[in-house]
Chain A
């Protein structure tokens, strides 16, 4: 019982193991459901490959424009959202007068019923998404940012908002700012971005003023194909 295995018996065991492995492998991909198993395994591997905290390593996610194949499982990781983002704007009228800053109120605050019914979650998260996206592009400069759909979306949203508030009379343009605040914790909000003057005449509404903001909606720019911060900021 205690005798050590002879080389011959060892080789036999190895051969049997190899054969066993081989047949297990071939069984995994053949027979009923073989294709399904292979496809499912490939998608799982793709999902795993798209979980790197640095988005530069997520080649797979760029292909998945419907977000159906490779879900992003990094919820609140590695660094959770610990701030609220707010958008504030002020307007300029034809007389050259500037209004005071006004905040776009989208955050509604927590209520019990939101567990079952919370349509306000979508616009709340939308502002959060847009601002987060713009923050990653801050170092690209105004001209690059203005071409982003998220930036143009926000401008169009604000134009609409100003008109809806009935404050559009005599207004020729506006300026907005993105602010980060600590929510219930009282502290001074931090200004992350201040936009340049933006005309009220939006795309496709009138003889526009030209420039990036006046351009027609088109396929000229897109965020999926950009290279957000290819290399970490290089101080040296």
Chain B
């Protein structure tokens, strides 16, 4: 009885000690099978790489426009159908040769060829590629380099590299799954199995009939992936069951999901896991060089330090006051930083620009540039509390009213009494402007709504409702990631590139800093509460109104256009100018951030102001002094556009 237990234990538990040479030998053969199958499949089915196929290179090459010329030349060469075909033939030969017995050095070259040609062919077969291709590329390259090297230290470094990638593959796949609801509630398996692409009808029916075991199975897969590195504990005591479970998992995926190539591709990493998880005391792995672990840990520590340093630098840049900016403390104690264009003509009207949620004052770059170039109007851009250099000092729970009060205080504190004021607001900034307008009463000449929010949009617009559900999760994830210092991995978005050159770095620093997102999250919560409480008609607002809608916003949801019309209607009254317009080709953001569209918006604002000023100035046509707009010939001396942004 005792001996049976011992036998079972030794069969199911313990490390899988294999030598360096054996590791390479098994791995390269497994991965050669993947390449062999893949290339034979490609070569016998070439339809997709010809004209009219799903990987027609004459079209696909357009994806690499931004690559360097040598890269494009290489891609075009590989992309030629004859070259693609020749490469596959050579790959079939190399793959088949590697299956033969032996340990010769040429195998290294064959492996390298398979790995590198696979990488070169990746863009060629872009649509339809999968994880097995990615795994094969680096396993073959690493195995090839290890074979070609004569130094055990180099070989061990490469074997450790593959082993660590294997661990990472299971870990990432597992832990990221935990972020998804279908994996957490265990419904994922049923969901995948019902598809014809990756599913299996029989298995799907089983998961329907036995939902509880199906859930256990899904959670079991999760546990296996999330805990894969336990194979390394206690001298590899669990290596055998962990690797066996993973192998069973891959075979099951191969059978039920049609992912046959994944079996050999992923199993090709397991010899490295076996080699590195065996205790060094075992003769098969004696003399193994484990310094790769220290090296990886050190590089990770350096990476994290650099990411932290970059985050600190970005924070500094993001909260840097404008060179000629000013500060005002509002009734809530909030410090508002604002940037004022000092107009030579201080009797001209002044515009105060308010941003949307999760935006920067720099978003108004193109609009203010247009206004500075073609008019003498005063311009104030400001950061709401918590954004950019502005600080939120209030300890009270945040409500939208606080932002409205701040804006009212800014106008009263920063604009000389008697000077005409227009409030311009984008998105949520439009709604804040509308409410502030009611409080400013006679001080205010008009409101300019730029694809503005409407307090009923969350209940009336289906599009906004759907977006709202996703938004909160997205915001939380973004904020958390940035707080964890991941801003360094953030892609510079196109809208930043589209802004005027001198404001880009400032805009990106704010976007990649968690502060902007935390402020946005706070505003979003308040907005959601506030908007859901709103009912009835919009109260009447004094002053002229210009309501600009982005075409994409109203195309996607006509209800938005109705709501924008209501914003305009709230301004109806004797002697008021009310203008609505849809900015063609614009979406919610590009109406500000795109050079042409932003300039269009600036022009519409100028036209509107000219009309309202002419109206307010009576029939006197007070000349340029009253309208503030210059003729196209009249360029301002000492262009202060930079300050105005």
Genuine A/B complex: yes
In this assembly, does A166 line the interface, its C-beta being within 8 Å of a C-beta of chain B?
no
A78 in contact with B552 (CB, 8 Å) = no
Enumerate chain A residues within 8 angstroms of B533, measured Cβ to Cβ.
none
Separation of A116 and B63 alpha carbons in the complex (Å):
32
Q: Give the contacting residue for B468; candidates A52, A161, A163, A235; CB below 8 A.
A: A235
Where chain B touches its partner, the secondary structure class is: helix
In this assembly, does A206 line the interface, its C-beta being within 8 Å of a C-beta of chain B?
no
In this assembly, does B338 line the interface, its C-beta being within 8 Å of a C-beta of chain A?
no
In this assembly, does B191 line the interface, its C-beta being within 8 Å of a C-beta of chain A?
yes
Separation of A58 and B59 alpha carbons in the complex (Å):
25
Enumerate chain A residues within 8 angstroms of B126, measured Cβ to Cβ.
129
B66 in contact with A224 (CB, 8 Å) = yes
A183-B195 contact given A25-B298, A37-B295, A149-B60, CB 8 Å threshold? yes
A235 in contact with B471 (CB, 8 Å) = yes
Enumerate chain A residues within 8 angstroms of B464, measured Cβ to Cβ.
235
A82-B42 contact given A32-B151, A118-B260, A150-B127, CB 8 Å threshold? no
Enumerate chain B residues within 8 angstroms of A233, measured Cβ to Cβ.
467, 470-471
Q: Give the contacting residue for B129; candidates A42, A67, A221, A232; CB below 8 A.
A: A67
Separation of A13 and B342 alpha carbons in the complex (Å):
65
Q: Give the contacting residue for B494; candidates A53, A59, A119, A230; CB below 8 A.
A: A230
Say how far B46's CB is from chain A's closest CB, in angstroms.
10
Enumerate chain B residues within 8 angstroms of A164, measured Cβ to Cβ.
52
Say how far B188's CB is from chain A's closest CB, in angstroms.
5
Please give me the residue from chain A that is nearest to B455 by CB atom: A236
In this assembly, does A197 line the interface, its C-beta being within 8 Å of a C-beta of chain B?
no
A33 in contact with B127 (CB, 8 Å) = no
Flag A68-81 by CB within 8 Å of B: 1 or 0 each: 11011111111111
Size of the A side of the interface (Cβ < 8 Å), in residues, is: 111
In this assembly, does A231 line the interface, its C-beta being within 8 Å of a C-beta of chain B?
yes
B477 in contact with A54 (CB, 8 Å) = yes
A139 in contact with B587 (CB, 8 Å) = yes
A79 in contact with B296 (CB, 8 Å) = no
Question: Which of A3-11, A105-113, A188-196 binds B?
Answer: A105-113
Please give me the residue from chain B that is nearest to A122 by CB atom: B128
In this assembly, does A45 line the interface, its C-beta being within 8 Å of a C-beta of chain B?
yes
A119 in contact with B478 (CB, 8 Å) = no
A77-B292 contact given A52-B481, A67-B129, CB 8 Å threshold? no
Enumerate chain B residues within 8 angstroms of A114, measured Cβ to Cβ.
258, 260
Q: Give the contacting residue for B200; candidates A43, A84, A107, A110; CB below 8 A.
A: A110
Q: Give the contacting residue for A40; candidates B157, B168, B552; CB below 8 A.
A: B157
Separation of A121 and B130 alpha carbons in the complex (Å):
10
Enumerate chain A residues within 8 angstroms of B527, measured Cβ to Cβ.
236
Flag A212-223 by CB within 8 Å of B: 1 or 0 each: 000001111111
Enumerate chain A residues within 8 angstroms of B171, measured Cβ to Cβ.
73
A157 in contact with B54 (CB, 8 Å) = yes
In this assembly, does B595 line the interface, its C-beta being within 8 Å of a C-beta of chain A?
no
A115 in contact with B180 (CB, 8 Å) = no
Flag B328-356 by CB within 8 Å of A: 1 or 0 each: 00000000000000000000000000001
Separation of A66 and B258 alpha carbons in the complex (Å):
24
Enumerate chain A residues within 8 angstroms of B154, measured Cβ to Cβ.
32-33, 36
In this assembly, does B398 line the interface, its C-beta being within 8 Å of a C-beta of chain A?
no
Question: Which of B132-140, B233-241, B275-283, B373-381 binds A?
Answer: B132-140
A185 in contact with B63 (CB, 8 Å) = no
Say how far A39's CB is from chain B's closest CB, in angstroms.
9
A67 in contact with B179 (CB, 8 Å) = no
In this assembly, does B161 line the interface, its C-beta being within 8 Å of a C-beta of chain A?
yes
Which residue, of A60, A118, A127, A149, has the highest number of chain B Cβ atoms within 10 A?
Answer: A149
Flag B195-210 by CB within 8 Å of A: 1 or 0 each: 1111111001100000
Within 8 A of A (CB), among B445-488: 453, 457-458, 464, 467-468, 470-471, 474-475, 477-478, 481, 486, 488
Q: Give the contacting residue for A234; candidates B62, B118, B182, B471; CB below 8 A.
A: B471
Flag A120-161 by CB within 8 Å of B: 1 or 0 each: 111111111110000000011101000001101110110111
In this assembly, does A19 line the interface, its C-beta being within 8 Å of a C-beta of chain B?
no
Enumerate chain B residues within 8 angstroms of A49, measured Cβ to Cβ.
303, 486, 488-489
In this assembly, does B194 line the interface, its C-beta being within 8 Å of a C-beta of chain A?
yes
Enumerate chain A residues within 8 angstroms of B217, measured Cβ to Cβ.
none
A74 in contact with B173 (CB, 8 Å) = yes
Say how far A206's CB is from chain B's closest CB, in angstroms.
15
Enumerate chain B residues within 8 angstroms of A217, measured Cβ to Cβ.
58-59, 61-62
Separation of A59 and B356 alpha carbons in the complex (Å):
26
In this assembly, does B123 line the interface, its C-beta being within 8 Å of a C-beta of chain A?
yes
Separation of A81 and B261 alpha carbons in the complex (Å):
19
Q: Give the contacting residue for A119; candidates B41, B259, B358, B428; CB below 8 A.
A: B41
Separation of A85 and B197 alpha carbons in the complex (Å):
9
Q: Give the contacting residue for A141; candidates B467, B481, B494, B587; CB below 8 A.
A: B587
Separation of A58 and B486 alpha carbons in the complex (Å):
10
B196 in contact with A107 (CB, 8 Å) = yes
A78 in contact with B179 (CB, 8 Å) = yes
Which residue, of B172, B468, B589, has the highest number of chain A Cβ atoms within 10 A?
Answer: B172
Say how far B20's CB is from chain A's closest CB, in angstroms.
13
A149 in contact with B62 (CB, 8 Å) = yes
A232-B471 contact given A57-B490, A115-B263, CB 8 Å threshold? yes
Q: Give the contacting residue for B296; candidates A41, A72, A222; CB below 8 A.
A: A41
Please give me the residue from chain B that is nearest to A216 by CB atom: B58
Within 8 A of A (CB), among B154-185: 154-158, 160-161, 164-165, 168-169, 171-174, 176-183
A130 in contact with B291 (CB, 8 Å) = no
In this assembly, does A16 line the interface, its C-beta being within 8 Å of a C-beta of chain B?
no
Enumerate chain A residues within 8 angstroms of B254, measured Cβ to Cβ.
115
A45 in contact with B128 (CB, 8 Å) = no
B524 in contact with A57 (CB, 8 Å) = no
Enumerate chain A residues within 8 angstroms of B86, measured Cβ to Cβ.
none
Please give me the residue from chain A that is nearest to B482 by CB atom: A57
A-B CB contact pairs (8 Å), 17 listed:
A42-B299, A49-B488, A49-B489, A51-B172, A53-B179, A57-B486, A58-B489, A69-B138, A71-B134, A74-B173, A74-B176, A75-B173, A79-B181, A129-B127, A153-B59, A160-B51, A184-B193
Given A32-B151, A141-B585, A234-B358; 4 other pairs, CB 8 A cutoff: A51-B172, A56-B493, A79-B182, A110-B201
B positions within 8 Å CB-CB of A: 37, 41-42, 44-45, 47-48, 51-56, 58-67, 71, 115, 118-120, 122-123, 125-131, 133-135, 137-138, 141, 145, 151-158, 160-161, 164-165, 168-169, 171-174, 176-183, 188, 191-201, 204-205, 254-256, 258-261, 263, 289, 291-292, 294-296, 298-300, 303, 356-358, 427-428, 431, 453, 457-458, 464, 467-468, 470-471, 474-475, 477-478, 481, 486, 488-491, 493-495, 511, 523-524, 527, 531, 552, 555-556, 585, 587-589
Of all A-B residue pairs in the complex, the 9 with the closest CB atoms, nearest first, are A160-B52, A219-B65, A78-B180, A82-B191, A33-B153, A227-B494, A230-B493, A232-B474, A126-B128
